[in-house]
Amino acid sequence: MKIYRQGDVLITDAFIPTNARPVEVKDRVILAEGEVTGHAHAIVADDCEMYEAGGSYYIHVNKDTQILHEEHAPINLPAGNYAVIRQREYRPEENIRVAD
């Protein structure tokens, strides 16, 4: 299994479920937006499609590409199918998403 991580986003090899619905995108596929800075983990839309199934997100990468973010180094991502996981932070009083 291949794992890619950039900030609060974790990407792993995955099968896209047959019931997954396409997510409409514009010029880039946003994997996660920063709550604090407004920056985004994103892939150029021509390189990738995003799907949603049961509250989980998946991407199909058509060709080798990069995950880009204003505050992180680019991550090279080979063509393939992936699950997009927002990492969570444990606090005794609550379980929250990691803020990037």
C-beta separation of 68 from 87 below 8 A: no
C-beta separation of 87 from 10 below 8 A: yes
Predicted structure pTM score: 0.81
Tell me what the pLDDT averaged over the chain comes to: 85
- What b/e string do you get for 7-43 counting C-beta neighbours within 10 Å, with b at 16 or more? bbbbbeebebeeebeeeeeeebbebbebeeeebbbbb
Q: How far apart are CA 42 and CA 40, in angstroms?
A: 6
C-beta separation of 39 from 69 below 8 A: yes
Percent of the chain past pLDDT 70, that is, above it, reads: 81
Residues 21-43: pLDDT tens digits? Answer: 999 988 889 888 766 666 888 89
Three-state DSSP class for 1? coil
Residues 3-23: pLDDT tens digits? Answer: 998 878 899 999 999 999 999
